[in-house]
Amino acid sequence: MKPLFTGLFTALITPFDESGKVDFATYEQLIERQINGGVGGLVPCGTTGETPALSEDEHLALVECCIKTAKGRVPVIAGAGSNNTAKTIDTVNKISKLGANGVLIVTPYYNKPTQEGLFRHYKAVHDSADLPVLLYNVPSRTGVDLSCETVYRLSALPRIVGLKDASGKLERPAKLKTMGIKEDFSLLSGNDDTALAFCAMGGMGCVSVTSNVCPDISALMFNAIKDKDYTSAQKYHDKLAALNEALFCETNPAPCKYALSLLGLCSEKVRLPLCEISESSKSKVKIALDTALKD
């Protein structure tokens, strides 16, 4: 069997209008731009979507809007995780009714569970869900690192279908394969700057921030990876390298939203406790964006 989720998925930003409300009209336009740019899938309400700053009603409305706008053209993996297992299960069940293709479940943050606690958390979500579950490991944000051994244990559960790994540990795909993880278990990078290397080590794609800004160039890179044309993939990676770095000069998604505002696609507004980026960071983003878009 082939992995369920492969290629380029965009971790969508959540646009706000100047009053701070979710701008659904702009959201729909951004989704259309992603699909027209050639991305392989969409991830609403993840880290890049500022989910901790959304109300439950906003969260569910954004997922529903994404699904309805995509119209089945690309899969939608909705962010549904929290540091409360019962709340996560409730969110997953509500998202299931909206028609998502899967859910992205982040490791519980702040609580700092053990590996056994992480296993039990994900198993509880799995046992209560009827959707495919993508594990999400991002230790720089959560304070816990989902080990390869725990990923391997979880991969035996039928509805846990893959991993988005933002640990920066490029050896993880190869290690998991050496351990004997199922061939159809999706291994996706959560870091744009190392996604090419991650895929060269056995990964199958990326959940990308940069593709919010440059979906077409990002899609070309992952199409080249799929074709094992690493010379072309390196060319596109190099074109995006400065932007990959600049979009994390301050906390994501503030730099990404600023880049999109330069393109006239949305407001740079983020919700507290995030704030707009500094003038020096704006200069970095603008220079990097100009470099990426240069012919």
Residues with active-site annotation: 136, 164
Q: Is the peptide bond before 273 cis (omega within 30 degrees of 0)?
A: yes
Listed in sequence order, the residues at least 6 apart from 71 whose beta carbon sits closer than 8 Å to its beta carbon are none
DSSP assignment of 89-148: HHHHHHHHTTT-SEEEEEPPPSS---HHHHHHHHHHHHHH-SS-EEEEE-HHHHS----H
Listed in sequence order, the residues at least 6 apart from 85 whose beta carbon sits closer than 8 Å to its beta carbon are 108, 121, 124, 125
Q: Radius of gyration (Cα) for the chain, nearest Å?
A: 18
Between helices 56-70 and 85-96, what is the axis angle to 10°?
A: 30
Closest to 70 (Cα-Cα) out of 104, 103, 28, 98 = 28
DSSP conformational letter for 16: B
Q: Is 243:259 a contact under the CB 8 Å cutoff?
A: yes
Read off the amino acid at residue 141. R
Closest to 257 (Cα-Cα) out of 249, 246, 266 = 266
